[in-house]
Amino acid sequence: MHDTPAGTVEVRRQDGIAILTLTRPAANNRITRQMAETGVAALEEVRIDRSITGCVLTGEGNVFCTGGDYRGAGSSSAGRLEFARAHNDLAQATSRLGKPLVAAINGDAHAGGFSLIALCDLAVCAEDATLGLPEAAHGLFPLLALAIVKDSLPQKVFFELVYRARLLNASEARSLHLVNEVVPKSRVLERAIELAASTRHANPDIISIGRDLYYDTRCATPHDANERARFALVAALKALDEPPA
């Protein structure tokens, strides 16, 4: 697909893996409201398509994503709220995907791009990529990203990145368990696809039940988490008794 001012999310398949590519390279793949909405629709299609066993998220060109394009939302509160709503919808769509979601970090991932990585189950990072929350350098605070990345970073690290607008290199990101592997840029997508295919031969219903349980219980009380796990176990055993055709 050709790039447009609003950008898009290109979807292609490779051996049962859906590859979603943020396609707005002229703007460092900064996500517009339209891109977020397109991403939600693409993730929903992946969720319901049983021929797809995993998903990879990457960026076109040499940058993964440097955030959300809030300026494109205009100056009205209504427009800005719709922009934020679209990004929240995108986050929700990743959590209910029911299949492995792997970030192929082909280049810098800043601000909202950083939060996209936090939304993925696994991440493969290019050796020369940087990750961070540099909004303060532009007079802002990473408000939308905060809700997503706060549980992925120790408190002191989070505020150091925010207050100093400091960027992590790939090695630092690996040491903080923000990414699983650091590889040459030329191998990022290939390796991400391999990881996304890790559960290819598993029962897809059981994978979905387990992944859903993880994301559903991240903010649950211990009692609520245990209750949900109890019912998830029953559902998983039923799926085991009745394997998919």
pLDDT in tens, the chain (245 residues): 334 567 899 999 999 999 999 999 999 999 999 999 999 999 999 999 999 999 999 999 999 999 999 888 888 899 889 998 999 999 999 999 999 999 999 999 999 999 999 999 999 999 999 999 999 998 999 998 998 998 899 999 999 999 999 999 999 999 999 999 999 999 999 999 999 999 999 999 999 999 999 999 988 899 999 999 999 999 999 998 886 65
Contact 142, 135 (CB under 8 A): yes
Cα–Cα dist 125/129, whole Å? 7
How is residue 143 written in tokens?
Answer: 């408000």
Per-residue model confidence (pLDDT) at position 2? 37
Instruction: Map residue 52 onto helix, strand or coil.
Output: coil
| Torsion 57-58-64-67 (CA) sign | negative
d(CA 92, CA 231): 22
Q: What is the 3-state secondary structure (H, E, C) of 99-158?
A: CCEEEEECCEEECHHHHHHHHCCEEEEECCCEEECHHHHHCCCCHHHHHHHCCCCCHHHH
Q: Is 7 helix (H, G, I), strand (E, B) or coil?
A: coil
Strand-pair partners of 125: 105, 182
Q: How far apart are CA 104 and CA 73, in angstroms?
A: 27
Q: How far, CA to CA in Å, does 136 sit from each of 87, 151, 153, 162, 191?
A: 20, 20, 18, 6, 33
Rounded to two decimals, the pTM is 0.92
Question: What whole-number distance in Å separates Cα of residue 83 and Cα of residue 244?
Answer: 39
